Structure 1
Amino acid sequence: MDKLIDAHIHLDKYSDEEIKEIFKDSSFQLSVITVSYDLESSKRNLALSNEYPNIKPAYGFHPEQDLPNDQELSELFSWMEAHKDQMTAVGEVGLPYYLRRKQADSAFQIEGYIVLLEEFIKLAKRWEKPIALHAVYNDAPIVCNLLEKHSVQKAHFHWFKGDHATVRRLISNGYFISFTPDIVYEKEIQDLVRYYPLDKMMAETDGPWPFKGPFKGQPTHPAMMNHAIKNLADIKKKPLESVYRLLYQNTRSFYNI
């Protein structure tokens, strides 16, 4: 396939030279949705989008970190408001599943993260922007509650993992999911995509997050999606070319690019 869209990558975490190399690959035409970690990350993603027309930035606050203080949050929201016309989506936002597990502290307060996420959901609704979500396992139903409360339909659960009841709920609501290169070696992801409708899927790398299996020791590059998409086509028993085309169209339509 000559056109690919990486639906979820942290391009701001790559060096300038690495980014040049990524877009220098002439084997396919690449576009990316680059999500943000915080205000500084959002600013770098905006700058990158001004330099490369195929970089589409999303602004937000990644939940797997300490909550911002009131001043930091005010600055982020004000900046997002001022730059919303250059913003493709709100993201990455969500709930801190892995942070809670890492701390293993029963006193961990998730309420503040839920309040913050709801603010981002309200912004996405008001600005009519898609929202890129970090919401896995037990956190996903909480996020679904908030999305349903505010009637937000353009929701993208990146690298999603969850139980069958939640998967059915996502499908019923028309939410999108995306898979990473770990589809090649992770049975959990293979089982998920076997069940999930192809017209509600996108491909991503979540780079620079590293992968195992055949990708072990390699820097994460959007070209890895080729291997992942071939695996998806095999699982779905669909022609490879048609799977490429549908994933591309799904992502273009969802993110309005």
Structure 2
Amino acid sequence: MKAIDAHIHLDKYPKDERERIINSLGENQVEALISVSMDLASCTENLRLFENCPRILPAFGYHPEQQLPSDSELDKLFTWIGGNKEKMAAIGEVGLPYYLRAEDKTGAFSYERYVELLEQFILFANKFNKPVILHAVYDDAPIACGLLEKHNIEKAHFHWFKGDKKTVERMIANGYHVSFTPDVLYEKETREVADQYPLQLMMAETDGPWPFEGRFSGKMTHPAMILDVVKELAFIKGIPVEQASSILHANTKRFYKLKDIF
């Protein structure tokens, strides 16, 4: 079994943990990592990691669950991404601030500006012919779908997705991919999405260093956990583990155009 972690924040691990992960990829049959970015500093670090280890494929973006960047910060970010477009695997992580908005008590939350920023990143993905990695859950997902449809984006990857059945059906019809974390072993709503979604549009991820519960409680999130995700998805779909592994691995390589790299 070979695995690709389709979504990880490798730059956010402490240095010693990051080195342990990189040095153990081969022995854990992890072929590559898609390391997503939070902001310009995160983009810069992910690029550095890629330049030191070609198994780490960087995605450049601005995570939506934080305050919006200033105009000057955004200009710097867009300029930097444009200058490094040949080295990025995707635009990401970008999306909409579901949790940040839910926590806001001021009543002055500027949701429209987040939607505008997401559209700018989608236009970037279209311009550079790159996939887009999305953080868009629950009632944010239909809005993200609308923007993708507006700009005829087909290469969309919804990570750790949660949403209603109607939105799931819309995403499947559009050919959007979703990826599942180790919480598919114990989280009911994640398992329900996995049951509904076709295996041919699935990938596996850790979203590390995010920690997990159940059998993973107290453990550092490692890309090797992808193998547990693969086994659980095989169980949910009622197929042999080797078959599920082969399909998920091929999906990820095809989606991120890794066939010419690995």
Match of 1:16, as an amino acid?
A: K
| Number of the residue aligned with 1:18 | 17
Distance 2:35 2:159 in 1: 12
Distance 2:247 2:74 in 1: 37
When structure 1 is superposed on structure 2, of 224-233 and 202-211 the one drifting more is 224-233
Deviations, residues 133-177 of structure 1 (Å, cap 9, x unaligned): 000000000001100000010000000000010000000000000
| Unaligned ranges ≥5, structure 2 | none
| Number of the residue aligned with 1:77 | 78
Match of 1:10, as an amino acid?
A: H
Q: Does residue 1:138 correspond to 2:139, yes or no?
A: yes
Distance 1:220 1:135 in 2: 22
Distance 1:196 1:245 in 2: 17
- Indicate conservation of the 8 Å contact 2:28/2:224, yes or no: no
| Number of the residue aligned with 2:6 | 7
* 3-state DSSP of counterpart to 1:202: strand
Deviations, residues 93-124 of structure 1 (Å, cap 9, x unaligned): 00000001122444322000001000000010
Q: CA deviation at 1:16?
A: 2.9
Q: CA deviation at 1:227?
A: 1.4
| Unaligned ranges ≥5, structure 1 | none
Backbone CA RMSD of aligned residues: 0.9
Distance 1:207 1:20 in 2: 14
- Indicate conservation of the 8 Å contact 1:35/1:60, yes or no: yes
| Number of the residue aligned with 1:96 | 97
- Indicate conservation of the 8 Å contact 1:23/1:30, yes or no: no
When structure 1 is superposed on structure 2, of 105-114 and 139-148 the one drifting more is 105-114
| Percentage of identical aligned residues | 55
| Number of the residue aligned with 1:156 | 157
Q: CA deviation at 1:21?
A: 1.2
- Indicate conservation of the 8 Å contact 1:133/1:157, yes or no: yes
Runs of 4+ in 1 over 4 A off after TM superposition: none
Match of 1:53, as an amino acid?
A: P
| Number of the residue aligned with 2:48 | 47
Match of 1:198, as an amino acid?
A: L
Matched length: 256
Distance 2:184 2:54 in 1: 29
Match of 1:86, as an amino acid?
A: K
Match of 1:223, as an amino acid?
A: A
* 3-state DSSP of counterpart to 1:8: strand
Superposition map of 1:160-199 within 5 A: 160-199=161-200
Distance 1:106 1:252 in 2: 43
Superposition map of 1:106-255 within 5 A: 106-255=107-256
Match of 1:11, as an amino acid?
A: L
Distance 2:28 2:74 in 1: 41
TM-score scaled by structure 1?
A: 0.98
* 3-state DSSP of counterpart to 1:6: strand
